[in-house]
Structure 1
C-alpha cells in the first residue's frame, strides 16, 4: 500500500528531502523483477483502462493482530513563487532518481503575489472587497512577465500542473494610515512612520483575483490540473470561476467566428452567403458548448470551506464542463482544520473517491508521520479500513496527476 503526498513544499525546507528519505520504512513487499525494457515503469503502468490502480501484493493487512505497512509512492512539489521553480525541478529530479513518482507544480501562491506584481497598479474599482474587481476584462493585453514564464514552464514540462494558486482573505499585514476614518490601531511606540497601523491584506483581493484568474485560464488552455488554496474568500472564488468560464466561452466564440483550418470556407471567396456562414457559426457554437471552460481537474488543498459551500462550488465547476468526479479535496494534519469537529462530516459529504492525501509541509522531517496520520484521520471520519483508504487515496492521486499522461502515452 503506497501513500502519495499530493501537496507539499519540501523544496523550501531547511534540509529538503533528506529527513523524509531517511525516515521512510523499507517497502512492505519485494519489488517485481523487471526486464531491461521495463526497468523504469511509467505512470501509465499504474492505471488500468478504467482508471483504477493495478493490484499489488501486500505483506500487511488491517487486522488488529498484524502491523499495517505502507510505502512511499512519491509527491507533488508545489511552488509558491517563480524563484521556487528551479528548486521544485531539483526536488522532483531527486525523487525520480530514487524511483519515486514526482510531479512539478508551478504557480504563484496568494501570500507571495505582492512580491511578483506591482502593488501600485491601477486597481479596478479602487476597493479591496473583491466585488467586480481584479477581473480579466478581455484580450489584447500582453501577458505579464511572470505569466509568460509560467506558461513557458508548463509547455516545457508536459507532466506539470498549476499550483499552488488561489485566494486568501485572511493573510494580513500592517500599513501606515492617517486614521481619517478612525479605524487604525494606535501604535504606542508613536513611531512617526507607523504612528497608526491599519490591517490590510498582504495583496489586495482584486489583484489576487486577477492573477488567480489568469493562472486558471493558462491551466484551462493547456489542459492542466490545478491545486488551489482558498481561505475566507469563497464568494470571491465563485465570482472568479464565473469570470474564467465567460472568458473561455468568449475565446471559443472568437475561434468560431474566425476561419480555422478545419473550416470548409474559402476565405478568398466573395460569394459566401450569410446563410452558409451562419450555419458554420452554429456548428462551431454547438461544438464549443462541450469544451472546457475551467481546468480539467481541480484540487482544493487543505479545504477550509463549510459543508454548505460544497453544493454551490461543485455546481459552479460543472458549469465549466468539468465533472464532479474530477474535483478533489485534501485535508492536511499540519493545518488545525484537520482536527475540527466539523471535518469528519465534510469528508463524508465529499466521499472517499474525491479525497487526496497531503502534508502541506516545507520541513519534511515529520512528513511520513503526517501521511500516516492523514490516512488514520480519513479512515476514522469515514468509518473505513485504513488499507481501503490508503488504496483509494493512492488511486485518486494517480487519476488526478497521471491519468492525462497515461492517456497521452496510450494514444501514441
Structure 2
C-alpha cells in the first residue's frame, strides 16, 4: 500500500499532547488537522509547522460543541446571551450552567480571530464547524468529554445555524474549503446551504460582478441516508464532498455503509481517521481504504489514487 498518497481528510492528532512528536513521522502522506476552539488553534498551527511542506493542512473553526461561547449579538450582556442560546430539560441545570460559564466571546473578536488565522495560513481549511442536535454540555461547561455525564443543557439549533452561517460566509470570502460536523441535523444543514446558495455560473446575468467559486464543503464521517446525498450535491454555490471513517461511519451496518459509499460520485469521495491521537492513525487510514475498495469494487491502488486526487482538489492544492 502506497501510504505516501493516503490523505486523512479529518483528524485531531494534536489532542494527544504526549505524542505530538509522532505526527510528522506518520506513514500517512497527508493529514488535515482540525481545530475546534480558539484555544487549540495555536497547537494546530505549531504541529503544521513541524511537518514537511504540504503534508499537514491546518484547519481553524469552532465546533458545534463550543458554539455557546460565541456571541452573535454584541448588544446582549453575557447572562442574557446564555439565556437566549441555551436550552435544558431541567431548568436548574441551565441556571447553574449560566453561572458557571466564562464570559462569551464578542462576535467582533472571534470573527476577527478566525479571519486572521486564515490570512496567516493560506492553505488552511475552515473546520471543524457544523451542527449537532444531540450534543449536551458537561457540568460547569467542562470540555473533557470522556467519562463525564453530560447535563441536559444544549445549544439551540438556531444559534448553531447562525454561527455556522457566519463561518461559511468567511470560508466563501477567503475561498477556503470547509469540514462540517453534522449530527441529527442533515435537514438543517441542507436548509442553510440552500439559503446561502449562489448561481453556479461564473457571472450573474444581471450583474457584471464575477461570482465567487463554489465553496468546497466536506460532510465528514457521513452516516446519513443515501437519499439525501443528491440534495446536497445539487446545492448551487457549493461543491459537496463526503468523507468516511472507520471510527464513526464504520458503526453502520456493512450493507448501509457500502450503499452510502457507492452513492457518492467518485470525484467527491474522501477518507479520514477522525482520531484524536496519532497512535493508530496509520492503521485507521489503511483500514478505511480497504472498506472503500470493497464497497466500490476498486483496487487498493485505485482507491488511494482517487481519494488522493479528490483530497488535493478539496483542500485547493490543484
Once the two structures are superposed, the pairs formed by residues 55-66 of structure 1 within 5 Å of their partners are none
How has the CA–CA distance of structure 1 residues 156 and 83 changed in structure 2, closer, same or farther, with 3 Å as cutoff? same
C-alpha contact (below 8 Å) 2:222/2:244 kept by paired residues: yes
Q: TM-score, normalised by structure 1?
A: 0.61
- How many angstroms apart in 2 are the aligned matches of 1:287 and 1:306? 40
Q: Which residue of 1 aligns with 2:118?
A: 154
Q: TM-score, normalised by structure 2?
A: 0.78
- How many angstroms apart in 2 are the aligned matches of 1:371 and 1:355? 14
Between Structure 1 and Structure 2, whose CA radius of gyration is higher? Answer: 1
Structure 2, unmatched stretches of 5+, are 72-77, 89-105, 140-149
C-alpha contact (below 8 Å) 1:10/1:77 kept by paired residues: yes
C-alpha contact (below 8 Å) 1:169/1:233 kept by paired residues: yes
Once the two structures are superposed, the pairs formed by residues 37-52 of structure 1 within 5 Å of their partners are none
Q: Which residue of 2 aligns with 1:335?
A: 248
Q: Which residue of 1 aligns with 2:152?
A: 199
How has the CA–CA distance of structure 1 residues 337 and 115 changed in structure 2, closer, same or farther, with 3 Å as cutoff? farther
Once the two structures are superposed, the pairs formed by residues 7-406 of structure 1 within 5 Å of their partners are 7-20=10-23, 24=27, 72-96=28-52, 101-117=55-71, 120-121=80-81, 143-173=107-137, 199-201=152-154, 203-245=155-197, 285-287=206-208, 291-292=211-212, 296-315=215-234, 317-318=235-236, 320=237, 322=238, 326-335=239-248, 337-341=250-254, 342-403=256-317, 406=318
Q: CA deviation at 1:240?
A: 1.5
How has the CA–CA distance of structure 1 residues 313 and 18 changed in structure 2, closer, same or farther, with 3 Å as cutoff? same
Structure 1, unmatched stretches of 5+, are 25-71, 129-141, 176-196, 250-281, 407-412
- How many angstroms apart in 2 are the aligned matches of 1:161 and 1:335? 21
Provide Cα deviations, 1:198-242, integer angstroms capped at 9, x if missing partner: 7342x2211111110000001111111111111101111122223
- Tell me the SS of whatever aligns to 2:6: strand
Larger proportion of helix? 2
Residue correspondences, number = 279
- Tell me the SS of whatever aligns to 1:103: strand
- How many angstroms apart in 1 are the aligned matches of 2:137 and 2:280? 29
- How many angstroms apart in 1 are the aligned matches of 2:34 and 2:86? 32
- Tell me the SS of whatever aligns to 1:199: coil
**Coordinate RMSD, CA, aligned:** 3.0
- How many angstroms apart in 1 are the aligned matches of 2:259 and 2:300? 18
Q: CA deviation at 1:358?
A: 0.8
